[in-house]
Copies of this chain bind each other. A is one copy, B any other.
């Protein structure tokens, strides 16, 4: 693996719940030698991707990332495009709705709207990473990604978040197959207790899934009627979104979805 990838991999460890990381903490997180870590962190800091808390010397994300995401959004206004569809769903279904993109370790929400309150711009609940194997977004993504990607995800350590989390590769593979067949992924309290969610992929130009949109509800509120409402809205939104992104929905999935919407 190149030095560049190793260094950029360090940035993945930052999240809303872990906004600052010290040198030694990095060592325990990554297992990399302190000397190497220090050189990488210093390089990232020199470029503005990190900055240091003067008091604790811990590292946090730096100002350079602000500009990059602004340029990215000007180049490919994905967040803006996604926003309107998520808002529509949340307003009609009155449940937490979000869109997410794949990163190395899981799905990263780019926009979310609560069923009742205001939308939260860029970043889901906590700018947190949603693990692939334990969330509907993750399973939906894997179901419509290349085999190589699925394999690399499943070869990593699979954490257990609730009693219902599957950590067995065969079980997860079955979930993925199921989502591929149904055209929608579901997660029944596999990441957070008392939360049920549904997710579908959306597609970009490449024909592979670009990201997912999902609805999460309290388990107590879910019934077959709400389930159908959620899934219908997700499918319709993905069809529109994929069109806006000049994406190609795989033919067999397009068929599956069309049949679901008819019934």
Contacts and interface: CB of A to CB of B under 8 A. Distances in A.
A105 to B, nearest CB: 11
A66 B108 contact: yes
A4 B47 CA distance: 9
Contacts of A123: 67, 70-71, 73-74
Interface string A8-43: 110100111001100000000000000000011001
B54 A61 contact: no
A160 interface: no
A72 interface: yes
Nearest to A44: B4
Contacts of A61: 68, 71-72, 75-76
Interface string A37-71: 00110011011110000100000111111111111
A66 B72 contact: yes
A40 to B, nearest CB: 6
Contact of A74 (B16, B76, B103): B16
Interface residues of A, number: 52
A4 B43 contact: yes
Given A75-B16, A75-B20, A122-B73, A64 B4 contact: no
Nearest to A210: B63
B8 A71 contact: no
A3 interface: yes
A2 interface: yes
Contacts of A43: 2, 4-5, 8
A68 B68 contact: yes
Nearest to A53: B205
A48 B103 contact: yes
A245 B101 CA distance: 32
Given A2-B3, A9-B47, A66-B78, 13 more contacts: A8-B47, A14-B68, A16-B75, A19-B75, A48-B103, A61-B68, A63-B101, A63-B110, A66-B69, A66-B108, A66-B122, A67-B101, A74-B127
Interface of A: 2-5, 7-9, 11, 14-16, 19-20, 39-40, 43-44, 46-49, 54, 60-76, 78-79, 101, 103-104, 108, 110, 122-123, 126-127, 205-206
